[in-house]
Amino acid sequence: MFVDTNVLVKARILEAPDHDIARASLQRAFELPEPLRISRQVLREYLAVVTRPQTWAVPLGRQEAVNDVERLTTIFEVLEDGPVVTDLLLSLCREIPVGGRQIHDANIAATMLAHGERRLLTFNPADFRRYGDRIELVDD
C-alpha cells in the first residue's frame, strides 16, 4: 500500500487535525501483510510541509525533519521516480484533465502504477478520485 504525505504529516504532528486517526490508520496498515510504500516525492513533500508554519502547528526544526525523513526511508519501501514514471505521468496528463498542483497527485498515481501498486492510503481522497479506475483509495 502506498502512503500519501498527508497521512505521514498528520501522524507525526500532534496538533495536526486527525492526528489520532492518522496514527491509528498507519498502525492498521503496518499490521497488514503487504509492504508500505512511499516515494521520493513524498519525502520531499514531507520536508516541505513539516518545516513551514501551519495554522495548527509550529514547524519542525530542519534537523528534526531531516531525521524524520531518514527514519521514513528505513520504515517504508521507497519507490523510485524515473523515466517510466515520467512516461506514465505524461500519459495520465493526456487522458485526465489535470494541471497545477494536481500534477503532484498525478505523479503519485504514476509512481504507484509504475511499481504495480494499486492501493493508496490518503486523507485527501478527492484529490485521487480521478484515478479511481486505476488505483484503490484507502481513506480510512
pLDDT in tens, 37-85: 999 999 999 999 999 988 888 899 999 999 999 999 999 999 999 999 9
Closest CA to 26 of 6, 49, 41: 6
Split into its structural domains, the chain has a count of 1
At residue 139 the predicted structure's pLDDT band, cuts being 50, 70 and 90, is: low
Q: What CATH number corresponds to the domain at position 26? A: 3.40.50.1010
Only one residue has cell 486505476, namely 134
Q: Collapse the DSSP code of 62 into the 3-class scheme (helix H, G, I; strand E, B; otherwise coil) and give the result.
A: helix
Residue 62 CB neighbours (<10 A): 11
- pLDDT tens-digit series, residues 79-94: 999 999 999 999 999 9
In this prediction the pTM is 0.95
Only one residue has cell 495536526, namely 16
Query: Does the pLDDT of residue 140 top 70, yes or no?
Result: no
Asked if 98 and 106 touch (Cβ cutoff 8 Å), the reply is yes
At residue 132 the predicted structure's pLDDT band, cuts being 50, 70 and 90, is: confident
Only one residue has cell 498528520, namely 10
- pLDDT tens-digit series, residues 99-119: 999 999 999 999 999 999 999
| Domain coverage including residue 99 | 2-138
- pLDDT tens-digit series, residues 6-49: 999 999 999 999 999 999 999 999 999 999 999 999 999 999 99
Residue 96 CB neighbours (<10 A): 14
- The DSSP bridge pattern shows strands 37-39 and 77-79 to be parallel
